[in-house]
Structure formats: C-alpha cells, structure tokens
Amino acid sequence: MTADRSQLGDMDPEAFRREAHRVADWIADYLAQSGQYPVLARVRPGEIASALPSEAPATGESFDTIFSDFERVLLPGITHWNHPGFFAYFAITGSAPGILAEFLSAGLNVQAMLWRTSPAATELEEVTLSWLRKLLGLPDIFDGVIYDTASISTLHALAAARERAVPSVRTEGLVGRGTLARMRVYCSDQTHSSIDKAVILLGLGQESLRKIPSDAEFRMRPDALETAIAEDRANAWLPLAVVATVGTTSSTSIDPVPQVAALCRRESIWLHVDAAYAGVAAMVPGYEWILRGAEHADSLVVNPHKWLFTPFDLSVLYCRDMDLVRAAFALTPEYLKTVEAAPVRNLMDTGIQLGRRFRALKLWMVLRHFGADGLRARLAEHMRLARLFASWIDASTDFERLAPVPFSVVCFRALPNAVADADLDAFNERLLESVNATGEIFISHTKLDGRYSLRLAIGNLHTTGHHVSRAWALLQEHATQLQST
Amino acid sequence: MTADRSQLGDMDPEAFRREAHRVADWIADYLAQSGQYPVLARVRPGEIASALPSEAPATGESFDTIFSDFERVLLPGITHWNHPGFFAYFAITGSAPGILAEFLSAGLNVQAMLWRTSPAATELEEVTLSWLRKLLGLPDIFDGVIYDTASISTLHALAAARERAVPSVRTEGLVGRGTLARMRVYCSDQTHSSIDKAVILLGLGQESLRKIPSDAEFRMRPDALETAIAEDRANAWLPLAVVATVGTTSSTSIDPVPQVAALCRRESIWLHVDAAYAGVAAMVPGYEWILRGAEHADSLVVNPHKWLFTPFDLSVLYCRDMDLVRAAFALTPEYLKTVEAAPVRNLMDTGIQLGRRFRALKLWMVLRHFGADGLRARLAEHMRLARLFASWIDASTDFERLAPVPFSVVCFRALPNAVADADLDAFNERLLESVNATGEIFISHTKLDGRYSLRLAIGNLHTTGHHVSRAWALLQEHATQLQST
C-alpha cells in the first residue's frame, strides 16, 4: 500500500468530467421522457436484491459498469416520482434548478453545523427562509430553520412546547417525578401519523395524544377541542400543545386555525400548525386566508419538498421563539467551540442533528428560477387541474366525490349502479390496483368516514391537463371493465 | 393563468441539459482545483446575507444569472470541505462516484418510505448495508438501516433500548407514573454530545446520562462503569444502556468494548457502539480488532459520510433486533397501507422520519467504484499519513503529542521553550487561528486533560503527503513567528 496517487485518490478528474456529462445527459433525457416508464415499479418483492451480488467487489469497477447496472438492474425497480402520471400520496417535483443545486451541493459537500464550517450555507438558509416567510405572509417574528422532514420539524416544535411547559425536562427528564402532571397533545382524527411518533419519542406516550373529532368536512371541531381541554384540566392533565393542520394528508382539509389559535392563547397552550403540504398555497392570490390564524401560532411547518418543486428532502420549521428550541437542545462540546468576529448563528444549536447538508441552496435556486409569480402560477394551475378533475367526478353518475377540494388533491370513489354498497370498498380497491397496473398513472387511497376513497394528487411540474384527462379516461374505462368481470 | 406549458412547467429540457453540462464542468474543475481556494471561508459574519436581496424575485431568473451569483456571492462564503488542506473535525470526502449518485438521486427524486414507493431504493439499502456489514466483520444477525446522521441513528438505538426496558413507554409514556424507576444511560467523559441530546429528547433528562471517567488514553474505564452501575442499582436507578465509542471525537480513543460488552450482558443492559467515524477502519487488515466485542452489542452506528468517501448525509445503524425499533415506532395510517405479492420491508417502519431519500445509491456507487481493497488501501494511507505527521511531532522539541494515534487524527500542541506553561493554551489558540488564516489548511481543536489541543484529521481523498508536510511546515513557521511577537 504505497502513496501512489493514481491508486489512492478519488476518481480521475477527467473521468469524472466525462461521467458527469453522461449523467447530465441521462437526467436531461429522463426528465423529458419520464412519462415513458411505468410510473409504479413492476418488480416483485426481492427481485432487485436477488439480482445483485451478495458482497461488495474486491477491486474497483469502472463507473461505466456501475452505471450500466443502474440502468439494467435498478431502474426497473424505481417508482417514478418525477413521472407526469404520479398522482399518489402528495405528488412532488424534483425540478431542474433543484436538481442542479443538489449536484452542486454534493460537489461542495459542506456540512453546516457551525457558521464557520460554511458561512454561506448558514446565511443563505436565513435569507431563503425569510423570502419564503414573506411569500407565505407570516409575520417577521417567525424565525426559520431547515430540517430534513416534517416529522423532524414537528418533533422539534413539540420538544420546544415541552421545554416551555416543563423547563426542568432538559435536566431532570420526565420519569420518576411524581409531581409532574401527565401531559396532553391535541390534534384532529385526520392529523398525520408523525404526531404519534413524536409523542412516543418524547416520552409522552400515545395516550398523551388526544384526537379531536372532525366535522363533515374533516376539519377539527373547536368546540370538541375546548371540551377536551376542559375535561383534561379537570382531571389534572397538563395541556401541552395543539397541532392544527392546513391541508391534512387524507383529504387536504383545513382546520379552523383562527378559532384554535384563540383557544390556545386563552389557555396558554403551544399551537403548532402543520402546513407541510398546503402552506405554500398561501402565496397564491386568493389563498392568503388558508394561513389566517397562523400568525398567532408558536410554530409552523411547511415542506418545500412537497409542493414547491424542491428535490426531497427540505422541511422548514418556523418558530415564534427559536430560543426555546435552542434552550431544549443547544450544547457545545469543546471541539466545536469557535470564536468569530461577531455573534453568529450555529445551526447545530437548533436541533438534535449535528450535521446539516447545504439544503438552502436548492430552495434558493428554485425560488429564483421560477420567481414568486412563477410559483404562484404553477400552484394555481395544479389547483385548477384538481378542480377540473373534481368537476368531471361531480358530473359523472358512476363516481362520487368524498371531500371538498381546497387544493390539488381530489378524494373520490367509483359508485357504479351494479355494485352493492357493501361491495364498494372492495370494488374501488380493485379499481386502484387495476389503473395502477397500467403503468400510466399511480394513484393512492385513504379512508374517509370509513369509506375506501381513491385519491388523485397533483403536484408534479410535468403533469398537464392531458395527463389528468388520461387518468380520468383510465378510471372510467377500468371501472366499466371491472363491472363486467 | 393559463395552462401554457412553456410558462407552467419545469425548466425547458434542453436548457436543463445545457446547464447540467455547465455544472458538471464546474464541479470537475472544482474537484481538480479545490486546493486553490482558501479552505476556511474568509467572510465576516453577515457579509453573505447582506449581499443578497431581502425578497425572492417576482419573476423567474435564468439559471445563468443564478449561477453567476452562486460563484460571485456564495462561493467566497464556502468553507471547502473537499479541499486537500481540510484537516478539521473529521475530514470527509464527497467522492466522485458519490457526487454522481447524488445527482442521479436528485433527478429521480424517489421517496423510499414504502417498498412500493421505490422497491429499488428499499432493496438496494438492504444489499449495500449487508455488503458493508460483511466488510466490517459484524455477524449477520445485525440488520441495518440508513438515517441521515449519527445523532439520529443513536437516538433510535436509545429509543429501542427504552422500548425493551419499558415496553409500556410507547403507550403510556414516562410522565406521572410513580412506579417507574429513573433510568440511566452510561458513556465516557469523551463521548459525543449527540448522546446528551438523545437523552434530553427521549424525556430521560441529562441527569440520566452518567459520564464514566476515562483512563490516561481517554478510554472508558470498565471498573468505573461497573461501580457506577452497582451504585445506581443500589439507589433504584434502572440501567438502560451503555454507549461505548470506537474512535471518540476528541482523540479517536477506543473504549474497551469486549469488557464493556461482557458487563452489559451480565447486567442485561443495552450496548450501543458509536463507531461513527472509525468503524470503517475495521475493514483494513490488522484493524479488525477495533470492533472486537461489538458482535455482542445490541446496536452500532457507522457513518459512511465520515470516512468512507460518501457525500453527506448517510449514517448507518446496525441493530441486533430491528423489530425493537419497529416496535417503538411502526404505525401505518390508512393512506400508507399497501398490499404486495409477498412480505416487504417498509423503511418508514424503522424510524421517526416518514420520508427517506434514495441514499443507498451513493453508498453502492462508492463501494463498487473503489472496491473493498481500494477502500482498505485509502483508509490505510490516511492512517499512514497520520502516523507520519505524529512522528514529526514526536521528533520535534517544540511540539508534543497529546494522545495516541490509532486512526487518522493527531492531537498535539506547540510547546515552545519560551512560553510559560500557564500560557500554552492561549499560545496554541493563537497558533490555530494563525495557520487557519493562511487559507492553506484548516485544523480544529479540543481539550484533553484540560489542555488546549490542536487536532489534525486526515480523511479527504484529495489529501496527500504533500499537504500533510505543508501543514507541518506552516505549524512550525507560525509557531516560530508567534514566539517572536
């Protein structure tokens, strides 16, 4: 093992250049033609794993060989999130400027734990989150920080709520302290499962999460929330936080944030707003109202990687008092102490993760490349397409809509005359599998009021009216076929 | 707002192709010439932020304009982690195959929460982690999962330990339950700060973390650990977990894992091994012993983004009983339920983060491009360079080494005759700032036995013997200059 650089360094720079151009072309072709792949991968469980060797190669392989295997072995096992027919879950886009930013970010490989370890990454995060905050119409008291996912953003929000309510928790913890009241977090029965995971992790237990019933349009009922809080107080529970959602995962319903915020202020309870998917719509003229009341929240999460064309992952937590997050977590071992010319923000202080990728770069490039008006127009177009699809459902006697369509997701089901009520769930489940098997579209499902509901979500920049029409044609066609089998 | 695709889609595909080639060339040049930048950014706090507008542009901008600003405004604020003179913290590499994989991953933008949402991402994670496990010599009982950072990996390990010790915690939590004993987690006084953050988050409190004294070579003292556990049991604490470190952050010391493991088995305490930085060295012939005892651990974390040339972020948790992690966190809302042809692994079940990037791709490309022997040779070379630097320190009368050098990090200080003992810390602090101001190298510091210690860490593939010699020349030169001022 000698120090021969040709053997011990990185890939030869000119080989890298050649391969980078190859990958650039491949991605350019892919983005232009992603609709030609089956959107949902067609492999069987275990098929990809069994096509790969059971050990790493002993000697290095050329990138050419590796890339061939990527195309031959892995690509058939990819579900194409950048396919125009991807209508499942929340449809997202890894847009071109975001992809270029990720490429640069990987090349730089900066780790923004301290200001010093990359001043540009730290300060660009501050600047882009301030841009986004203004676009959303949030007051400037809100300070922002980037995490990977909404699960982690919300976890930090609830940790800050716990820190505020029980400042001793950092040092003394929750266990074995008989004087501490049990704590309660409130959300609706439509709220995302990340809240369950957060209360488990925080040591509060799932029993601490009280799910408030929602109304006919899947919105949290403030009267039920008020009753629950009063009941809990009477039973010596400590109300810790309420999570209100703007754009729930099932039906994209909007909790009545103004009423919930007023209640939280009266009761001195932390209000966290989960606007992970739909929050960005607040920048669209006519949609400012969706974040009404959020100006009184303590924290709010919004995910540019969901519906703001930013490659996964990038979640933003806005917090009225970021010092509470820091109070919960900041600690600086000697090896990370730095002295700077002026006070600086060290991003490692606002979270449990020490290391941080240079994620702000992709948000910055996306915001600049599309521009505020460009983003607004694209979001509005997705909502227009969703309303259009909903209008076809509404006009059809063979389908019915199962929820309002405030944003870009439509919940519906087939309702053919020939199918008995008791068989509708099974019928729609078969319909889902049937249309997904075409490879042209990928939709997902949920349950609303106990009924199996199909979900069509629009959020990819490659999706046009053509793809939405095609989805509708396929659904009608397959529903008809299934009735006759 | 019409559906004109030219205005509402993504960047034009041919424009993307052009810009991707530009960025490919830029990164190729950057990697070849990264040594020409000042390694540590020279901007003042606030300088980058103040050079940027306070609002997002209303209309979209060309990528050309954005990229110019990247070079003009941001680049001077970048600390160059891919610079051959980066010797601070743990030096890392975003290697060429890893960068290409990240580019592809951004283009595909798959989100591997469920097997169905990307079978290839799920199964490639299983395969590559099995490759890595074999390279490290860990038994095949260990199942692996990829997270973003070691902080998150360790958090999950400790959550699993809590789940095993107190299965009621998921439902009932820790608070207000008088019958629960307070819990204790043990680590040495050299252990990483992420353990502190984890116990805070888990609701155990910092008091639950008992720091065991280390010996003269900064290794946890098993006798002191044994005494602490006995003392805690006598006082009705419940010992929950021990964290042993292979390659501590300050001095890269190695805790005596075999003895700690034997103690943990006798006492039925969860053993977590933090091998985030140094674990990969176990694949180098002659270094297998560093993970001896880890075969009895319950969990182990190793970070390919640290010293395995994988762009940040990619941390791996190996766990003897991954079902405990699933028991702690798995829950599947209706909208994520899927039916597959055979049982599948849904990665969202092994953690608090629902969304997951396609991180396995970069590890796979790195392992294949360098090959097992290529990785071994590079790690061995970094350790050889560290020993070489240490030998220069040892041979000098003006410097002294402050810790053994088991891996690729050297802890040392200047010790000039003319400087009084009481002034050594301040002198070395000035020396650190002075050599870092050259822009040629970036080193960091720590404290060992209360003494301010300089740290030189080798881990970048671009670093050669030339750069290490240059670091040594600069240190000697600046130490001499500082003595005469």
User: Is the CB of A55 less than 8 angstroms away from the CB of B131?
Assistant: yes
User: Is the CB of B381 less than 8 angstroms away from the CB of A331?
Assistant: no
SS3 sequence of A110-169: CCCCCCCCCHHHHHHHHHHHHHHHHHHCCCCCCEEEEECCHHHHHHHHHHHHHHHHCCCH
Residue A381's alpha-carbon distances to A440, B8, B12, B122, in angstroms, are: 21, 8, 18, 33
Q: What is the pLDDT of residues B43-90, one digit of tens each?
A: 999 999 999 999 999 999 999 999 999 999 999 999 999 999 999 999
User: Is the CB of B455 less than 8 angstroms away from the CB of A335?
Assistant: yes
What the block records as the tokens of A116 is 């010093």
Residues 135-164 in A contacting B (C-alpha not used; CB under 8 Å): 135, 148-152, 155, 159, 162
**pLDDT surpasses 90 at B24:** yes
Counting every residue written for chain B, the total comes to: 485
- CB B48, CB A123: distance < 8 Å: yes
CB nearest to A176's CB, from B16, B98, B182: B182
Does B450 contact A at CB distance below 8 Å?
no
Q: What is the pLDDT of residues A9-30, one digit of tens each?
A: 999 999 999 999 999 999 999 9
User: Is the CB of B369 less than 8 angstroms away from the CB of A61?
Assistant: yes
- CB A361, CB A104: distance < 8 Å: yes
Average pLDDT, chain A: 96
DSSP code at position A226: H
- Residue B383 main-chain phi, psi, to 5 deg: -70, -35
What the block records as the tokens of B263 is 């103690």
Q: What is the pLDDT of residues A202-231, one digit of tens each?
A: 999 999 999 999 999 999 999 999 999 999
The C-alpha atoms of residue B223 and residue B213 are separated, in whole angstroms, by 10
What the block records as the tokens of B360 is 């396995």
User: Is the CB of B174 less than 8 angstroms away from the CB of A170?
Assistant: no
Q: pLDDT-based confidence at B108, cuts 50/70/90?
A: very high
Does B57 contact A at CB distance below 8 Å?
yes
**Nearest chain A residue to B64, by CA:** A369
Counting every residue written for chain A, the total comes to: 485
Q: What is the pLDDT of residues B205-231, one digit of tens each?
A: 999 999 999 999 999 999 999 999 999
Q: pLDDT-based confidence at A2, cuts 50/70/90?
A: very low
Neighbours of A151 (CB within 10 A): 24
CB nearest to A372's CB, from B10, B58, B135: B58
User: Is the CB of B92 less than 8 angstroms away from the CB of A77?
Assistant: no
Find the angle CA(B137)-CA(B142)-CA(B148) to the nearest 5 degrees: 95
Dihedral of alpha carbons A431, A436, A441, A444, sign: positive
The C-alpha atoms of residue B328 and residue B325 are separated, in whole angstroms, by 5
> What is the count of residue pairs from A and B with beta carbons less than 8 Å apart?
601
Does A37 contact B at CB distance below 8 Å?
no
The C-alpha atoms of residue B460 and residue A155 are separated, in whole angstroms, by 34
Question: At B448, which helix (H) or strand (E)?
Answer: strand B444-448
**Nearest chain B residue to A29, by CA:** B13
CB nearest to B106's CB, from A103, A151, A367: A103
In this structure, are strands B183-188 and B209-212 parallel, antiparallel, or unpaired? parallel
User: Is the CB of A250 less than 8 angstroms away from the CB of B334?
Assistant: yes
Strand ordering across the sheet containing A444-448: A399-401, A409-414, A451-457, A444-448
Residue B152's alpha-carbon distances to A13, A389, B167, B191, B276, in angstroms, are: 34, 41, 21, 15, 12
User: Is the CB of B93 less than 8 angstroms away from the CB of A367?
Assistant: no
- What's the pLDDT score for residue A150? 97
| Spatial CA neighbour of A429 closest among A404, A408, A447 | A447
| Spatial CA neighbour of A480 closest among A440, A447, A420, A434 | A434
HSE, side-chain direction, 13 A CA sphere, residue A354: 24
The SS3 call for residue A42 is coil
The C-alpha atoms of residue B456 and residue B337 are separated, in whole angstroms, by 50
Average pLDDT, chain B: 96
State the smallest CA–CA distance between residue A185 and chain B in angstroms.
13
Substitution target in A200, A204, A280 with the highest count of B β-carbons within 10 Å is A200
The SS3 call for residue B214 is strand
State the smallest CA–CA distance between residue A222 and chain B in angstroms.
23
Neighbours of A53 (CB within 10 A): 10
How does DSSP assign B78-89, residue by residue? ---TTSTTB-SS
Question: At A84, which helix (H) or strand (E)?
Answer: none
Residues 232-291 in A contacting B (C-alpha not used; CB under 8 Å): 249-250
User: Is the CB of B60 less than 8 angstroms away from the CB of A169?
Assistant: no
DSSP code at position B442: B
State the smallest CA–CA distance between residue A138 and chain B in angstroms.
13
Contacts of range A389-398, beta carbons closer than 8 Å, 24 or more positions apart: A389/A456, A389/A458, A389/A468, A389/A471, A389/A472, A392/A472, A396/A476, A398/A476, A398/A479
State the smallest CA–CA distance between residue B81 and chain A in angstroms.
6
CB nearest to A174's CB, from B134, B174, B370: B174
Q: Is the omega angle on the peptide bond into residue B313 within 30 degrees of 0, that is, cis?
A: yes
**pLDDT surpasses 80 at B177:** no
**Nearest chain B residue to A285, by CA:** B1
Neighbours of A405 (CB within 10 A): 21
- What's the pLDDT score for residue A181? 87
User: Is the CB of A175 less than 8 angstroms away from the CB of B155?
Assistant: no
- What's the pLDDT score for residue B339? 86
Decide which of B7 and B448 is more confident.
B448
User: Is the CB of B201 less than 8 angstroms away from the CB of A124?
Assistant: no
Does B52 contact A at CB distance below 8 Å?
yes
User: Is the CB of A329 less than 8 angstroms away from the CB of B197?
Assistant: yes
Residues 175-204 in A contacting B (C-alpha not used; CB under 8 Å): 175-178, 180-183, 192-194, 196-204
The C-alpha atoms of residue A238 and residue B55 are separated, in whole angstroms, by 41
Q: What is the pLDDT of residues B331-358, one digit of tens each?
A: 888 888 888 888 999 999 999 999 999 9
Q: What is the pLDDT of residues B281-296, one digit of tens each?
A: 999 999 999 999 999 9
Residue B303's alpha-carbon distances to A182, B16, B386, in angstroms, are: 37, 33, 20
* Angle of the A360-395 helix axis to the A96-108 helix axis, nearest 10: 150
Where on the phi/psi map is residue A135: left (φ > 0), alpha (ψ -120 to 50), or beta?
alpha
Q: What is the pLDDT of residues A76-88, one digit of tens each?
A: 999 999 999 999 9
For residue B370, list chain A residues with Cβ-Cβ distance below 8 A.
60
State the Rg of chain A over Cα.
25
What is the mean pLDDT of the segment spanning B187-210?
Answer: 96
How does DSSP assign B64-121, residue by residue? HHHHHHIIIIIGGG---TTSTTB-SSS-----HHHHHHHHHHHHH----SSSTT-HHH
For residue B178, list chain A residues with Cβ-Cβ distance below 8 A.
176, 178
- What's the pLDDT score for residue B77? 98
For residue B340, list chain A residues with Cβ-Cβ distance below 8 A.
45
Q: pLDDT-based confidence at B3, cuts 50/70/90?
A: very low
State the Rg of chain B over Cα.
25
For residue B177, list chain A residues with Cβ-Cβ distance below 8 A.
175
DSSP code at position A9: S
Which residue has tokens 């680049």?
A: B75
For residue B353, list chain A residues with Cβ-Cβ distance below 8 A.
148-149, 151-152
What is the mean pLDDT of the segment spanning A159-174?
Answer: 94
Q: What is the pLDDT of residues B291-310, one digit of tens each?
A: 999 999 999 999 999 999 99
The C-alpha atoms of residue A46 and residue B126 are separated, in whole angstroms, by 10
User: Is the CB of B48 less than 8 angstroms away from the CB of A95?
Assistant: no
Does A61 contact B at CB distance below 8 Å?
yes
Residues 364-423 in A contacting B (C-alpha not used; CB under 8 Å): 364-365, 367-374, 377-378, 380-381, 384-385
Neighbours of B266 (CB within 10 A): 10
The C-alpha atoms of residue B337 and residue B176 are separated, in whole angstroms, by 34
For residue A189, list chain B residues with Cβ-Cβ distance below 8 A.
none
HSE, side-chain direction, 13 A CA sphere, residue A240: 26
For residue A87, list chain B residues with Cβ-Cβ distance below 8 A.
none
Does B426 contact A at CB distance below 8 Å?
no
**pLDDT surpasses 70 at B2:** no
User: Is the CB of B444 less than 8 angstroms away from the CB of A170?
Assistant: no
Does B317 contact A at CB distance below 8 Å?
no
Does A80 contact B at CB distance below 8 Å?
yes
ipTM surpassing 0.95, yes or no? yes
Residue B151's alpha-carbon distances to A196, A274, A407, B155, B193, in angstroms, are: 21, 24, 36, 6, 9
The C-alpha atoms of residue A66 and residue A72 are separated, in whole angstroms, by 10
* Percent of chain A scoring above 90 in pLDDT: 93
Chain-centroid distance, C-alpha B441? 21
What is the mean pLDDT of the segment spanning B387-409?
Answer: 98
Question: At B301, which helix (H) or strand (E)?
Answer: strand B299-302
What is the mean pLDDT of the segment spanning A360-389?
Answer: 98
User: Is the CB of A92 less than 8 angstroms away from the CB of B76?
Assistant: no
- What's the pLDDT score for residue A3? 42
